[in-house]
A and B are shown apart, each in its own frame.
Chain A
Amino acid sequence: MVQKVIKAFTTAWKGLSLTIRHLFAGNGKREIVTVSDSNYFKQLEHGTNTIQYPKQQLPVPEVGRYQLDVEMDDCIVCDLCAKVCPVNCIDIESIKATEAIGQTSDGTTKRLYAAKFDIDMAKCMYCGLCTIVCPTECITMTNQYDKTVFQLSDLVYQFSDMSPEDAAEKRALFDKQQAEKQAAKLAAMKQKEGGA
């Protein structure tokens, strides 16, 4: 019994001395080193372990699976990313152009307008498949991970740079071209029939 009491007091004192050491150990700012640093766990032994987030940030690798970003000038609206996406968070609406409308930075010819290029980041599962299939590497994952919005709809990123009027105009042009082609075809067929 006496031994038990003594043991209880000594063990309790051991714990108490440990905590009092930490209480007065100083609470200097945590120095920010990357996880890969060999000193990473060493520096947790003194001072505070708190990272005061907005003021201090742990450096993250530049290549990682964070927010998606699309470089619209390089996009050829091939729809591969939308097709490969496992959660269908990419929504693309394309308009065929009447002629080639320029080139991407890697020399691919662009023949489609993107009337709509929405990525719903709330649905995105950060698998990165879209960045792999993209032929022109226009869809990438940036190193921005901190994104808070007040409206859920703000998490739908709209990358298309066309106004609705613009899109309507292009659509009309394409329809007109198609109609002309159709008309030309018909005329040609008529000619054939007439000539036969």
Chain B
Amino acid sequence: MNYYITYFIAAIGLFSFSAFFALFGVYAERKISAFIQDRLGPTETGKYGSLQTLADILKMLQKELIIPAAADKWLFMLAPAVIFIAVYLGFAALPWAPGLIPSKTNIGLYYIFAIISIETLGILMAGWGSNNKYSILGAMRSAAQIISYEIPAGFAIISVVMIAQTLDLQVISAQQGILATEKIKFAGFWDVSQIGGLFSWNVFRAPHLLIAFVIYFIASLAESNRAPFDIPEAESELVAGFHTEFTGIRFALVFLAEYSMMFLVSMIAVILFLGAWNTPLPNIGSVKLATWTTGVAWGILWVVIKTLGLVGVQMWIRWTLPRLRVDQLMNLCWKVLTPLAFGCMLISGVWRLWLM
């Protein structure tokens, strides 16, 4: 019985975290975009407009839930829930600190990769159910894009898995710091098992993983439908793509899913490439910085800081680069990223055999 209470608390905690993060994320995005464009963003509601998103969500909760007359009612109503739940379930297998993980499964990475693909289904349901040409175009683009970009993302992840030799995210995390049970070498020659810090992160353990990281990051932008890969939304040509017809809380759910997805893919990137909950500070002789800054609270802090940094980069990219055309997008995916990711996987195999 007690187990179940713990499960419920974990689930509710994750949900409230993703809701809070979505509110924070929208606010941060509005502020960042404003400063990039020399504007001020929200300023009126609360200090520096910090209560603006809270006011927005309260407004959305009150709004009428309109279902278009010719829409496919069930698909239309279920779509936002499917979109959000797919992303939300992905959070279950993400480690936050040493020993702190909602669901410690030995195939965590595989599970996450599988479960967030279901989001495509939700987007297709939304687009098809809306019975609207803009929406169906957006949904089709989204499906094409996500399915294509899962390939380079998958191979970039596999190149990490080959180095780590496990699909358990907690084990992958533990390998990248002073808590590792095996020998860690910086760039394949310098033993940093006792030094830790950022030298033992995956991107530095095997430098070709830096390329894999960039590939994964670009692919993750496409997976979360963010600019420059936001053709599913394409507000300038498709109104709002697959969520054109949604109102009120359903629209809010779609947005909640988008921001949760941003956090999720960034956190996967952090766990696989940037040392997960490990500290960036190395042990230098008797100054045991890494040992001092390793623990549950520290772990949560490091994961959140790194992830928010990546989310910030995602926003920065969104407000800089123009949207890609659909053919450019497919070109990039199939002709550049996929071969590169294959190359990374090959190097990973050789690296594992000869240098570890």
Given A5-B336, A27-B35, CB of A19 within 8 Å of CB of B40:
no
A48 & B40 in contact (Cβ 8 Å cutoff): yes
| Chain B residues within 8 Å of A24, by CB | 35
A20 & B39 in contact (Cβ 8 Å cutoff): no
1/0 contact string of B304-334 vs chain A (CB within 8 Å)? 0000000000001101110000000000000
Q: Is A173 an interface residue (CB 8 A)?
A: no
What distance in Å separates the Cβ of A27 from its nearest Cβ neighbour in chain B? 6
| Chain B residues within 8 Å of A33, by CB | none
- B39 in complex: contacting residue of A12, A18, A19, A48, CB < 8 Å: A48
The winner among B32, B36, B38 for most chain A CB atoms within 10 A is B38
What distance in Å separates the Cβ of A54 from its nearest Cβ neighbour in chain B? 11
Q: Is B37 an interface residue (CB 8 A)?
A: yes
Minimum CB distance partner of A46 in chain B? B38
Given A5-B336, A16-B316, CB of A22 within 8 Å of CB of B321:
no
| Chain B residues within 8 Å of A50, by CB | 38-40
Counted as pairs of residues, one from A and one from B, with CB atoms less than 8 Å apart, the total is 43
Q: Is B43 an interface residue (CB 8 A)?
A: yes
Minimum CB distance partner of B39 in chain A? A50
A16 & B43 in contact (Cβ 8 Å cutoff): no
Distance in angstroms between the alpha carbons of A12 and B36 in the assembled complex = 15
A23 & B39 in contact (Cβ 8 Å cutoff): no
B321 & A12 in contact (Cβ 8 Å cutoff): yes
- B40 in complex: contacting residue of A12, A23, A27, CB < 8 Å: A27
1/0 contact string of B33-51 vs chain A (CB within 8 Å)? 0011111100100000000
Given A23-B32, A27-B35, CB of A16 within 8 Å of CB of B320:
yes
Distance in angstroms between the alpha carbons of A5 and B343 in the assembled complex = 15
What is the size, in residues, of chain B's interface with A at 8 Å between Cβ atoms?
15
1/0 contact string of B2-24 vs chain A (CB within 8 Å)? 00000000000000000000000
B35 & A15 in contact (Cβ 8 Å cutoff): no
- B319 in complex: contacting residue of A5, A19, A25, CB < 8 Å: A19
Minimum CB distance partner of B340 in chain A? A5
Given A5-B336, A12-B321, A52-B43, CB of A19 within 8 Å of CB of B38:
no
Distance in angstroms between the alpha carbons of A131 and B317 in the assembled complex = 54
Minimum CB distance partner of A2 in chain B? B336
A52 & B32 in contact (Cβ 8 Å cutoff): no
| Chain B residues within 8 Å of A10, by CB | none
Given A5-B336, A23-B32, CB of A48 within 8 Å of CB of B38:
yes
24 A-B residue pairs with Cβ-Cβ distance under 8 Å, sorted by A, are: A1-B335, A1-B336, A5-B336, A12-B320, A12-B321, A15-B320, A15-B321, A16-B317, A16-B320, A22-B37, A22-B38, A23-B36, A24-B35, A25-B35, A25-B38, A27-B35, A48-B38, A48-B40, A49-B38, A49-B39, A50-B38, A50-B39, A50-B40, A52-B43
8 cross-chain pairs, A with B, having the tightest CB-CB distances, nearest first: A19-B320, A50-B40, A49-B38, A19-B36, A15-B320, A23-B35, A16-B320, A23-B36
Given contacts A16-B320, A18-B320, 4 further A-B contacts (CB under 8 A): A19-B320, A48-B39, A49-B39, A50-B38
